[in-house]
Amino acid sequence: QAAAWWDRKADRREGRDLVQVLGTLHEAVDPSRLEEAWQRVVARHPGLRTVIRSEDVPEPVQEVRGGVEVGLKFEDWSDRPEASREALLEQWLQSDRLRGFDLDRPPLLRVTLFRFSECEFRLVLTYHRMLLDAISVATVIHEVLDDRVGDRTPGDASAVLFCRSPPPDRTPDVAAEQAYWRSHLRGVFGTPTSLGIDQTPETIPGTPRAWGEHAITLSADVGRCLGNLAAKNGASLETLFRGAWALLLHRYNGEPDVVFGVRSPTGGGSPKEPSREPVGNRTNTLPLRIRIDESGSVEQWIRKMGIDEASVRPFEGTSLPRIRRWSEVEAGTPLFQSLLVLEGPSLNARLRSLGDSWLTREFRVLARSGCPVTIHCHPESEPALRIVYEKGRIDDSASARMLGHFARLLRGIAEAPESPVGALPLLSDAELEQLESWNDTRAEVPQVRVTDLIEAQVARTPDRIAIAYGGSAWTFRELDRRSNRIARYLQRQGLCPGARVGLLMEPSLEMVAGLLGILKGGAAYVPLDPELPEQRLEFMMRDARLALLVTQQRLRTILRPRWPTPVFLDSVWQSIEAEDDQSLPWPGTADPDAYVIYTSGSTGQPKGVCVPHSALVNLLRAMRERPGLGEADVLLGIATISFDIAGLELFLPLITGARLDLLDRRIATDARALAESIAEIQPTVMQATPSLWRMLLESGWEGDPNLKIICGGEALSRDLANRLLARCGSVWNGYGPTETTIYSTMHRVENGTGPVPIGRPIANTRIYVLDSKLRALPQGVAGELVIGGAGVARGYLGRPDLTAEKFIPNPLAGGEGRLYRTGDLARHVAEGSLEYLGRTDDQVKIRGFRVELGEIEFALSRHPSVRQSVVLARHDGRIARRLVAYVVVDRSRKL
């Protein structure tokens, strides 16, 4: 039977499927007698003379050769310093692994003897996995060493002391095997089931792969419970191990259907019973596919798996290369990334059961499956679990956590078999506590409005410059008095508390006064960027049911008669001047909306996010501390008001006494002009999207060591971060959707390598990384970033359906408040930070602007000549990311 699953050269290079047995012998050993013993054993067992022939045959076949000699290599290390021997031996073992074997040259086996002293030797047996299974290797070692002792005649049945269960009495039916495996793996293609925590290895060609290992033991109680549970439900203990591993993979990668490798031992290995089986390897490695259904109870699921496993049994003998070939997985791609091995008794335990001199000998098996992760399960009374992982691909601590989660799932199964599979806990109590304390961001939340914070600042620094624009400037007192007058004037025009007022203005001192006037009147402002298309502006005005539209004369030409009655702040200035300039009593409810900002909607229409004062106040108070702003600061405001980050630029200086310098949109979008303004104004703080920072650098801007940079709105790449760090005072990465009020995390970026984290939650904010069923995920595993706390907006204006879908009650145990589902993918990384990984949907960012591709596709589909369309955000070479639409035109119509 062909079992050549070692079919790739690379596998050989990496020592895959090569096993080393290391024996420690505290006795005198004669090398030449040992060599003779080996030769006799090899002559006796055809299995040890097996090679794989792949030339001149349609598919690789096993061939038994005659006249094979196994030489013994002897190394006398007795004169080497004692302290260095073990390390030398480790090195030697590694180079021995790299040597591999030529598969067609017998024997696929070699023996090396090291002399450490008169009575201390090391014996290394290196062989290809195909040659020997656990029982056979014990048999062979037993025969060799006892032959050397010479007091027993080897070769007779009584000397073979390990029993194995007889192999299934059948001839393989290839057609049936093929049909079975094809259907088992139907639809499995592309990349193998992801482990959820693997990284691209940074392998340097020629360097061997390094491996790490962790172990955990389950209690005897858990072991007993699992055994009983398996027996009660017609399954084996192995089924439970497999089920728990499948579940772990599913929780880690979110896929409902997982594939991993399985390997089981043959025979029990009770000594003193003669085996009639020849020496060889009858274990087989197989792919196992499990579809996860988390709705039923654990017990129902075990029964189902038990039945499925019984159906594989007749096809357990099929070789892995064949199964691979029958699958839809491309050649060269592994079928699986993880392997679950059910271990029998260890080699050491088997040999020690022989008693006598075997009690002083130690044997250790060194084997690497070649999979990035192998889980070994030792079903003893206290089941031991081991993870062997490839360093560089799997992080040391991530693999330890992974093993912990596997154990946690098994304990969960033992504790509550009647509970639904979906309720099985993955995280340890310690991990849950850690998440809890990470999220403990409680800070004082004063029950005030933004306008209260501003008025308090006016009282502190009435004569300092508050805002400057185009050569003019207003002090805090001037700004405050003007906005008080505007508020009173607007109230006379019909503004009432709780109303929404459009703010269609270009950056200017009046724009800020108008905005404050709206807020002081108890209303919410709806920012309307004059550069937006007419239909878009009109949609927002209609959707927001504006009470008023605050604008300015020079925008008169873009106004439409059907729009709300405009108030031209600049033409009614005289009437405004006539109003009382003292502060107004708060006219509204305790916590009304401060603004409603529209963002792209996937179903074709933008949606208005309603942000209450309390959320804005919380954000501003947090930002005052980190990144920090004070009276000595000058902030350069460049964001368009329709982008929520403008809220930080406009309000943060006003509550901290810093000066706000506003720039024209024309300057703010032209890198050279912007660089000139920066040089002239010398701001100490500036916020912009990564795209804009990049544009600035590319225009030749040299930075400023006194400048604190806040990056927000889209992912900050490492290379940009480092370039900015080299040129500026400090760089902060802020993350947050409009729905949770500008920023929900803030991270001070350090020079370094690897992705730039987005940091941790700001004050009074809780962040969770959840799977699709809203269960918390462990560190390192990607899930949806979900945000709770003071920043969570009220919802979408007039869209209860959408609000209910995105703003959900906190589903976590003991969790309170509402959570906003961002649709962002993230994971917890070391040092208590979060890393942003992308989106779960079709939302993209173009120069910081949030765009739902679906909204554009919807707009295209309304054109009579467009039959179908797809929109992508493409990044082509050096061209900045842009939107590209592909359309299928209906030829019967004119475009």
Q: By the criterion CB under 5 A, which residues form the site for Mg ion?
A: 736
- Options 39-47, 136-144, 388-396, 709-717: segment touching ligand AMP (CB under 6 A): 709-717
Q: Which is nearer to ligand AMP, 54 or 605 (CB)?
A: 605
- Options 20-28, 160-168, 549-557, 710-718: segment touching ligand AMP (CB under 6 A): 710-718
Structure-derived torsion over alpha carbons of residues 218, 219, 223, 224, reported in degrees to the nearest 10 = -170
C-beta of 503: minimal distance to Mg ion in Å?
Answer: 19
Give residues 749-808 in contact with ligand AMP (rule: CB under 6 A): 758
Give bridge partners of residue 770 from the DSSP assignment: 776, 784
Q: Identify what 824 binds: Mg ion, ligand AMP, none; CB under 5 to 8 Å per kind.
A: ligand AMP
DSSP 592: -
Query: Cα(482)–Cα(581) distance, rounded to whole angstroms?
Result: 7
Q: Identify what 614 binds: Mg ion, ligand AMP, none; CB under 5 to 8 Å per kind.
A: none
Give bridge partners of residue 280 from the DSSP assignment: none
Give residues 713-732 in contact with ligand AMP (rule: CB under 6 A): 713-716
C-beta of 512: minimal distance to ligand AMP in Å?
Answer: 21
Q: Which is nearer to Mg ion, 344 or 736 (CB)?
A: 736
Tokens read off for 459: 């009282």
Q: Which is nearer to ligand AMP, 473 or 846 (CB)?
A: 846
C-beta of 800: minimal distance to ligand AMP in Å?
Answer: 20
Distances (CA, A) of 271 to 159, 162, 268, 313: 11, 5, 9, 26
Query: Cα(500)–Cα(511) distance, rounded to whole angstroms?
Result: 16
Contact assessment for residue 51 and residue 108, using Cβ atoms and an 8 Å cutoff:
yes
Interaction between residue 599 and ligand AMP (CB under 6 A): yes
Tell me the number of residues near ligand AMP by CB under 6 A: 19
Using DSSP's 3-state secondary structure scheme, residue 148 falls into helix
Q: Identify what 761 binds: ligand AMP, Mg ion, none; CB under 5 to 8 Å per kind.
A: none
- Options 668-676, 733-741, 805-813, 884-892: segment touching ligand AMP (CB under 6 A): 733-741
Nearest CA to 863 out of 893, 828, 823 is that of 893
Q: Which is nearer to ligand AMP, 385 or 609 (CB)?
A: 609
Query: Cα(335)–Cα(673) distance, rounded to whole angstroms?
Result: 56
- Options 1-9, 494-502, 543-551, 707-715: segment touching ligand AMP (CB under 6 A): 707-715
Please return the burial class of 705, using the count of CB atoms within 10 Å of its CB with bins 0-12, 13-18 and 19+: exposed
C-beta of 727: minimal distance to ligand AMP in Å?
Answer: 20
Q: Which is nearer to ligand AMP, 385 or 758 (CB)?
A: 758
CA 413 to centroid of chain Cα atoms: 26
C-beta of 852: minimal distance to Mg ion in Å?
Answer: 15
Please return the burial class of 878, using the count of CB atoms within 10 Å of its CB with bins 0-12, 13-18 and 19+: exposed
Q: Which is nearer to Mg ion, 522 or 736 (CB)?
A: 736
Interaction between residue 850 and ligand AMP (CB under 6 A): yes
C-beta of 739: minimal distance to ligand AMP in Å?
Answer: 7
CA 282 to centroid of chain Cα atoms: 38
Contact assessment for residue 64 and residue 400, using Cβ atoms and an 8 Å cutoff:
no
- Read off the amino acid at residue 59: E
Q: Among 712, 761, 788, 795, indicate the residue that binds ligand AMP (CB under 6 A).
A: 712
Q: Which is nearer to ligand AMP, 5 or 735 (CB)?
A: 735
Q: Among 822, 833, 866, 871, indicate the residue that binds ligand AMP (CB under 6 A).
A: 822
CB contact set of 650 (below 8 Å; sequence gap of 6+):
512, 515, 637, 641, 660
Q: What is the DSSP annotation of 682-699?
A: --SEEEE-HHHHHHHHHT
- Options 83-91, 174-182, 514-522, 711-719: segment touching ligand AMP (CB under 6 A): 711-719
C-beta of 738: minimal distance to Mg ion in Å?
Answer: 6
Interaction between residue 496 and ligand AMP (CB under 6 A): no
Q: Among 836, 851, 852, 857, indicate the residue that binds ligand AMP (CB under 6 A).
A: 836
SS3 string, 306-355, reads HHHHHHHHHHCCCCHHHHHHHCCCCCCCCCCCEEEEECCCCHHHHHHCCC
CA 521 to centroid of chain Cα atoms: 46
C-beta of 137: minimal distance to ligand AMP in Å?
Answer: 53
The residue ranges that bind ligand AMP (CB under 6 A) are 599, 644, 712-716, 733-735, 737-738, 758, 822, 824, 836, 839, 845, 850
